[in-house]
Structure 1
Amino acid sequence: MGWLRVEIGVVIPNMPPYCDASLLREVAEIIDASQVGYLFIWDHYSLPWSDETLDAWVALSYLASLTGRVKLGTCVSPVPFRHPAALAKVVASLDVLSGGRAVLGVGAGWHKPEFTGFAYWYGDGERVSRTIEGVRIIKELWRSGRLNFRGRYYTVQDAVVLPRPVQDTGPKILFGTTGDRMLRAAARLGDGWIPTMTPPRVYASIREKLLNLIRLNNRDAEGFIFAYADFDIHDNTDDYIKVIEKHSNVGCRLYAATWRYGKEEAIKKLKDFIRDVVPSFS
């Protein structure tokens, strides 16, 4: 087929039925034996649809022990939910234990109940500001292994992240956003962009804006990862192919399917997806 090459990923919700260790194991082993390049997981402590969730980074460590090839990350982690130095340590540890396969998706968070239950809820603007400052802290800790820092929102005194990540410049950081301030931060600090619920025409427009911002920051856009996390589930593999084709035509180079199927369907649908969809874009 004459379509552009697109890397394929799968996003696993960190809620039922994927709180089941045996189902996670089966999904991970099938994906690792395939051409799927990324295995992401949601990072929420509660959701409007479920208060039953797994900690994303514990789940990713479990998945790392079951796999040897596929990249592993969050789609996406709400940075203001945790202290960024602690998040830097967790992700660095996953990178070490997985042999350099960790990826960090970042966002500002949106589900207030999980913040009020486990952290602190800030207004929209402050959450964005904390995300941007937090990413700077994370990157510097990965780079140097040690940090003293006093910013507007965070103070870090004698923080140590050793061992440092296996990846030379640290795990890739993908921004999950369509907002202007976060896009500007992605252009300065990020390695990629992974929005969701973004139709092709909108994706194309924001992608062009982001390319211009990357150039304004004197960065090379060549290695920047333009991704898309598809929140929808589709009836058949032909529908997945159509969606991927439409997004690839407007510059998407990593498509991640959110696997919101029930336990009875999950494995069969995954095998069909790997057999019929993934090779079309490899």
Structure 2
Amino acid sequence: MTKILNLCFLFAVSGAQAFGVAPIQGYEVGSHKITDYADIDLPVSCAQPSCQLKAHIANGRFRIDGKVEKLQMLHRSGSKVSPQQVAREYTASLTKVGGKLLNRESGENGAFVFKVPDGAGHVWVVLDDNFAGYHTLYLVTPQTRASTVSVQASELAASLRSDGLATLYINFDTGRSELKAAVEPTIDETVTLLKQQPTLRVSVEGHTDNQGDAAANRQLSLDRARAIVAALEARGIAKGRLAAKGHGQDAPIADNRKEDGRAKNRRVELVQLT
């Protein structure tokens, strides 16, 4: 049996986590990166009644976001270690600190997902075996994406005049379309714009990054656009002045290979209708 040599969690008083993991015997750390905010989107198997991830699954994929620490463990020995065996070793160590494996049926069908308490909440630990001599650990501390960037009605008007569209960056939870309280200033400024220009008609058009299923992303972007339209109507904007459209991942404006590019692609545009 392989054995985890050392596994420890160090929790800062502020609630931010430093997470130290020593590789399984025969492995070594190939890369280690911490990102203040990122999305994790991986295939998982969650068909059994025992699976406790159903609330986080969409189209067979597990999607979460937050502060992400990513460790890639490279296989350096001649012996073959199955993903199930790797999972058993991490399960044993994480269980000792109160962690729980939530989808035991995974493995060749996708990532293993653990939930580990940290005193103030929990950390997601996602083990993805890549079947090429290495496996990857994602340690995700849930946190809110940077605040929604609010714009002034005058800025929206200027963009519409010059480009025929204005871009809103609105913070939605991963895979969800409900509007958060932080979006209120942006909605209010959009209402101001539309009231200042009573003949203006706009199409509210949602866009996503390329993470996940393309068809699901188109529906998600449409649902988000409709949520914004509903919020504008609730503030007195006539229904006939608004339309909703969802493009999903089909119209990126930045490089989806990088998180900052994906963040730019997750947007809503107000497109002027003639």
TM-score (normalised: structure 1)? 0.24
Q: Which of the pair is proportionally richer in strand?
A: 2
Tell which structure's C-alpha radius of gyration is larger.
2
More contact order relative to length (CA 8 Å, sep ≥ 6): 1
TM-score (normalised: structure 2)? 0.25
Q: Which of the pair is proportionally richer in helix?
A: 1
